Amino acid sequence: MIKKLAITGGTHGNELTGVYLVKKWKRYPELLKRRNFKTLCLHTNEQSIKEVRRYIDQDLNRSFKSRDLSDESLETHEAKLAKKLNALLGPKGSDTPNVDFIVDLHTTTANMGLSIVVSNESALTWKAIAYLCQMEPALKVYRWQGDEEGAFVDSMAPHGFAIEVGAVPQGVLRADLFLQTEALIYHLLDFFEKFNEGEHFTYDKRLEIYDHQKLVDYPRDSEGDITAMVHEKRQDKDFTLITSGEPIFLMLSGETVCYEGEPYYTIFINEAAYYEKGFAMCLAKKVQIEIEI
Amino acid sequence: MIKKLAITGGTHGNELTGVYLVKKWKRYPELLKRRNFKTLCLHTNEQSIKEVRRYIDQDLNRSFKSRDLSDESLETHEAKLAKKLNALLGPKGSDTPNVDFIVDLHTTTANMGLSIVVSNESALTWKAIAYLCQMEPALKVYRWQGDEEGAFVDSMAPHGFAIEVGAVPQGVLRADLFLQTEALIYHLLDFFEKFNEGEHFTYDKRLEIYDHQKLVDYPRDSEGDITAMVHEKRQDKDFTLITSGEPIFLMLSGETVCYEGEPYYTIFINEAAYYEKGFAMCLAKKVQIEIEI
């Protein structure tokens, strides 16, 4: 039984789908009303939304490590904001959190389609994901163990995940992806309504997901500047396999760099925000997992 | 006869195609060498490139009005930068400018393909454009009289234009569009080499271009915030006709807004940087003009 769900948008202020979905639902709150739980809907980083920037001082979606939340010496805009949000929506790790489930709304410049990025192993989280995959067969699920673990907005609650939708540029609202994200949220709310009523779900226990393996950085010079681009044959090929010998980068000099290694699925290819984080794409395995129903 | 051409990149620091083409050519200057003129290749706004932002204080590509260049009271980063650039590449309006032609490299989040944005009426500018259209038949030409006139980087020289290529997100390098822009520059250099040698050009005198008519803003609330998105049926439809009754916006409430007015071609649809400038797209007429050969 869940009592309270939070939908968070604008964790990155230049990802407008979440920013404007939250604005829409604040104007039309009846769209989120369900019989047996409450939904809180909020902007997490008002200042970055105002400036249409990913963040002010540091990435808010990497600011929820337990040790950072208890470190009073951290002075950045987002470190302080994380503590406020944790008081409102967490506290993280609590047995009596203010919110049971957080769904955090993101967009990406990578051609990810409609996807879920999940770092939570709770049975309820995966049950919800399995339901969504049944309702939206094009939905992809990426189990992330990326650059930093346990530091996402959704980690404040015992259950939750992020929705990633793309390709959409930073600072742009695309109607098609806005509508897809909106529809997915209504399915999620429907799931919890049924779950709270004790409905027996009949969907397939096996779920195909993409399991994070490693990060691949751009070729860089001694000063850290990139010296290559994602190769045009790899661009936009998110959730497809790359095998040894296939082009992965195009050097500024014009040479093609080919991938060498185990075959993996490429994800988050050429995401704008990851140039500074130091990766050009993620590599994942496709695996079948079993859901507890 | 031209003596000196300038290729400028990074006028907007988050438009990476121009930023990295300039880096490439600084590393491989022989690629720009031609027999009978010199080419200068430079980043115009180093600070905005470093911060991967369009600008620091104001849009550099709107900072070259003659009255602003002579106004010593202007204190913004870009107002001061414009004066420095004007001393290097101009001075604007001079009979003996340091540079004869400026091509300024841009990208857009709109689906503009490979296009030229031109506000210059000089015969040489149009001769060069006609040559490029012959070499790259997919190239589109947009004669801009947009939000502010005569304030572009390329207005410092007697001849010139901007290249706009898209769709590409801000902060992202796409190999396909990088290569297209690069190829277009080599055609432009070839043109001037032939022009300087007195070659007689034989291409068609008539050129089909898109002539700016007006700007269309998003529906907004009393605080100026957008209350609608570009409709999914209009998104990505740059350089196509819109006629009365066709969907143009989707309100956050879910209603569709239809276009009412003369049939025009829609250009720069849903460009990220134009949300703050106050337009969702430009409307243009397709016209045939005659080039002096």
| pLDDT at res. A258 | 98
Under an 8 A CB cutoff, do A170 and B168 touch? no
**B39 close to B189: Cβ distance less than 8 angstroms:** yes
**Domain boundary assignment for chain A:** 4-203, 209-290
| pLDDT at res. B203 | 79
Distance of alpha carbon B78 from alpha carbon B186, whole angstroms: 29
Confidence of residue A266 (pLDDT cuts 50, 70, 90): very high
| pLDDT at res. A149 | 63
- Distance of residue A197 Cα from the nearest chain B Cα, in angstroms: 30
pLDDT higher than threshold 90 for residue A41 = yes
- Distance of residue B183 Cα from the nearest chain A Cα, in angstroms: 12
DSSP annotation of B290 reads E
| pLDDT at res. B147 | 58
Domain B4-203 in CATH 3.40.630.10? The answer is yes
| pLDDT mean over A25-38 | 98
Comparing alpha-carbon positions, the chain A residue that sits nearest to B167 is A169
| pLDDT at res. A146 | 58
Confidence of residue B99 (pLDDT cuts 50, 70, 90): very high
Phi and psi of B290, rounded to 5°?
-110, 130
In this structure, which amino acid lies at residue A93? G
| pLDDT at res. B204 | 80
pLDDT higher than threshold 80 for residue B149 = no
Residues of chain B found within 8 Å of residue A28, distances taken between Cβ atoms: 253
Residues of chain A found within 8 Å of residue B252, distances taken between Cβ atoms: 20, 23-24, 27
Under an 8 A CB cutoff, do A167 and B170 touch? no
| pLDDT at res. B267 | 98
CB-closest option in A24, A170, A230 to B252: A24
Mutation target for B interface from A109, A172, A248, A256: give the one with most B CBs within 10 A: A172
| pLDDT mean over B39-54 | 98
pLDDT higher than threshold 70 for residue B217 = yes
pLDDT higher than threshold 80 for residue A167 = yes
| pLDDT mean over A47-56 | 97
Quickly name the fold that domain A209-290 has: N-terminal domain of TfIIb (2.20.25)
- Which residues face B7 on adjacent strands? B41, B103
pLDDT higher than threshold 90 for residue B280 = yes
Phi and psi of B278, rounded to 5°?
95, 30
Confidence of residue B292 (pLDDT cuts 50, 70, 90): confident
Mutation target for B interface from A173, A177, A249: give the one with most B CBs within 10 A: A173
Confidence of residue A286 (pLDDT cuts 50, 70, 90): very high
Domain B212-286 in CATH 3.40.50.1860? The answer is no
Distance of alpha carbon B87 from alpha carbon B90, whole angstroms: 6
pLDDT higher than threshold 90 for residue B145 = no
Give the whole-number percent of chain A exceeding pLDDT 90.
95
Give the whole-number percent of chain B exceeding pLDDT 90.
95
**ipTM score of the complex?**
0.94
Distance of alpha carbon B237 from alpha carbon B258, whole angstroms: 15
pLDDT tens track for A233-247: 999 999 999 999 999
Q: Pick the residue with more confidence: A146 or B172? A: B172
CB-closest option in B169, B232, B276 to A272: B169
| pLDDT at res. B148 | 62
Q: What is chain A's mean pLDDT, rounded?
A: 96
| pLDDT at res. A148 | 61
- 3-class secondary-structure state, position B122: coil
| pLDDT at res. A192 | 98
Q: For residue B28, what are its two tokens?
A: 């491989």
Under an 8 A CB cutoff, do B170 and A171 touch? yes
Residues of chain A found within 8 Å of residue B275, distances taken between Cβ atoms: 52, 171
Closest CA to A115 of A163, A67, A154, A83: A163
Contacts of A221 (CB under 8 A, 6+ apart): A227
- Distance of residue A293 Cα from the nearest chain B Cα, in angstroms: 35
| pLDDT at res. B127 | 96
- Which residues face B65 on adjacent strands? none
Mutation target for A interface from B25, B49, B173: give the one with most A CBs within 10 A: B173
| pLDDT at res. B202 | 83
Contacts of B224 (CB under 8 A, 6+ apart): none
| pLDDT mean over B80-107 | 97
Q: What is chain B's mean pLDDT, rounded?
A: 96
Q: DSSP characters for A187-220?
A: HHHHHHHHHHTTPPP-S-SEEEEEEEEEEEPPPB
Give the whole-number percent of chain B exceeding pLDDT 70.
99
| pLDDT mean over A185-208 | 93
Give the whole-number percent of chain A exceeding pLDDT 70.
99
| pLDDT at res. B150 | 84
Distance of alpha carbon A33 from alpha carbon A15, whole angstroms: 25
Chain B residues with CB within 8 Å of chain A CB: 20, 23-24, 27-28, 52-53, 109, 167-176, 178-179, 225-226, 229-232, 235, 250, 252-253, 270, 272-273, 275-276
Q: Pick the residue with more confidence: B202 or B266? A: B266
| pLDDT mean over B121-146 | 94
